[in-house]
Each structure stands twice: as C-alpha cells, then as structure tokens.
Amino acid sequence: MTISPVSRMPLSLDVAQRLRTAILDGTFAADAELPTETELAQSFGVGRSTIREALRVLQAHGLISGADTVSTARPRVTHERTAGAAGLALSTALQVGAIPLADLVALRVLLEAEAIRQNTSVPATARSCLATMAAAVENADIHTFHAADVDFHVQLAYAGGNRALGFVIGVLRDCIAGYLLDALAAVADPGAVLARLLAEHQGIVDALDAGETDHAAELAVHHISGFYTPETP
C-alpha cells in the first residue's frame, strides 16, 4: 500500500489556491466581489486571519484588488495586475539565478520573431515610439529612449493579433528591460549606441512596410540577440 505524505502546506496557502482555482474557472468572474472575510472563513472552516493571509497572496498574484489599500473586506476579482505580477515573478526568478538571462533572451527571440511574422502592418503606436526614440537619440536621453524601446517591441508583438504572444512577450520584455537600461548607462558613448539601435528598429519597420515579414523577423532576432552578446559595448 502506498501512503501519500501529509501535506504541510499552510492553511492560508491552501485557501489561496482554492480561491485562485475558483477565479480561473470563472466561479468568481472578473470585477465580481468576493464574499466577506467572515463568509469565507465560515465556508472554509478557518479563522479570519487565515482568510486575510490568503487574500493577500491573491493580491500579490494580481488576481484581486486591494493590494494598495488597508482593508481587504470585499476585494474584487481583477485581471489588470496579472501581467505585472507575472513580470515580477520572472524578474525574481532571474535575480535569484533560477532562470539565466540568456535563457529569457532566447525565449524572447523565438516568440518575438514569430509575432513579427504574423504582422501585416506597423501600428501607429509603434511608429510613435520610433519617433520618440529618434528624438531621444538627438538628446542622448537614455531613459526616454529605453521607455520608448520597451513600448515599441510590445506594440509590435500585439499587432500580429495573437494576444497570448503579446502578453508573454510583454512580460519577458519588462523582466529584462532593466538590463538594457543598465547596459546603456554603462557605455562610454551612449549616443552612438542609441543611434545604432534606432537604425535597427527602423530597419524592422521598413521590412514590415515592404511586406517582408520573414526579413523583419530576422532583423528582430539580430537586434535582440546582438545587444546581449558579450561583444556589445
């Protein structure tokens, strides 16, 4: 006879997992209020302090509102913070060494190339980002260039119409964005590097405008991978 080990999961985490399942399967729809702490405590047969801790776990995961308030009496189901929570989880895993930066970059390259291949046109939002980057090059403004760079790639990722690709690429991009900013701040001649990166972005846009999606994807791969190679200034 096989005997399973006794679960040592804290009650609050067990309750959080059950509530998470209820949110994901639609039992609690988006923007719906959860039951009160007292009602939840009665349903699960636990104390209110356990419920309170479980709710804070869900808030940290971006699944319910209330993380920026003191009260957790009637939080609502929300999907607005899930991307940020996912990005934070990836960033944490990266910083503790669980996921090497090179692996995240390789994953981003694969997904972003596929997203660009699905593009039929360059969205106006991406062109606006390109214009912002061009102005930032003139002023050697690293921070403005960086913000527009991040948004440019996310806008292109969503433009292909695959929301799953756009979401995951956005999370990956946010996760490794800090490394781009640090690298730009460390170069001796940031203006030259910004000009090169701008030209690479423009090349991707030009290829898409010409309907050469495969070429645009190749340029994106070179652009992303090239920046993170040891030879990059």
125 with 201, same domain: the answer is yes
49 with 87, same domain: the answer is no
Q: Which domain holds residue 109?
A: 83-227
Which of 60, 80, 100 lies at the terminal end of a domain, its last residue?
80
Nearest to 190 by CA among 200, 199, 202, 181: 181
Please tell me the distance from the alpha carbon of residue 187 to that of residue 175, in angstroms, as a whole number.
Answer: 21
Give yes or no for residue 79 having a pLDDT over 80.
Answer: no
75 with 88, same domain: the answer is no
Give yes or no for residue 202 having a pLDDT over 70.
Answer: yes
Instruction: Tell me the whole-structure pTM to 2 decimals.
Output: 0.68
- Among the ranges given (6-20, 135-149, 194-208), the one the predictor scored with the smallest mean pLDDT: 6-20
Which of 39, 58, 80 lies at the terminal end of a domain, its last residue?
80
Higher pLDDT residue, 195 or 9? 195
pLDDT confidence bin for 229, thresholds 50/70/90: low
Residue 208 within a domain: yes
76 has which bridge partners? 33
175 with 107, same domain: the answer is yes
Rounded to a whole number of angstroms, the CA Rg of the chain reads: 22
Q: What is the mean pLDDT of residues 50-62?
A: 88
Instruction: Give me the pLDDT at residue 160, please.
Output: 85
**Mean pLDDT computed over every residue of the chain:** 84
Please tell me the distance from the alpha carbon of residue 22 to that of residue 127, in angstroms, as a whole number.
Answer: 41
CATH of residue 17: 1.10.10.10
Q: How many domains does the chain have?
A: 2
Residue 100 within a domain: yes
197 with 212, same domain: the answer is yes
34 with 97, same domain: the answer is no
93 with 118, same domain: the answer is yes
67 with 92, same domain: the answer is no
Q: What is the mean pLDDT of residues 96-125?
A: 88
Which of 80, 100, 129 lies at the terminal end of a domain, its last residue?
80
Q: What is the mean pLDDT of residues 24-31?
A: 86
Residue 37 within a domain: yes
Higher pLDDT residue, 88 or 1? 88
Q: Read off φ and ψ for residue 105, nearest 5 degrees.
A: -65, -45
Identify whether the C-beta of residue 75 lies closer than 8 Å to the C-beta of residue 37.
no
Residue 24 within a domain: yes
How confident is the model over 215-227, as pLDDT tens digits? 999 999 999 888 7
Instruction: Give me the pLDDT at residue 204, please.
Output: 96
CATH of residue 197: 1.20.120.530
pLDDT confidence bin for 197, thresholds 50/70/90: very high
Q: Please report, rounded to a whole number, the percentage of residues in the chain having pLDDT higher than 90.
A: 37
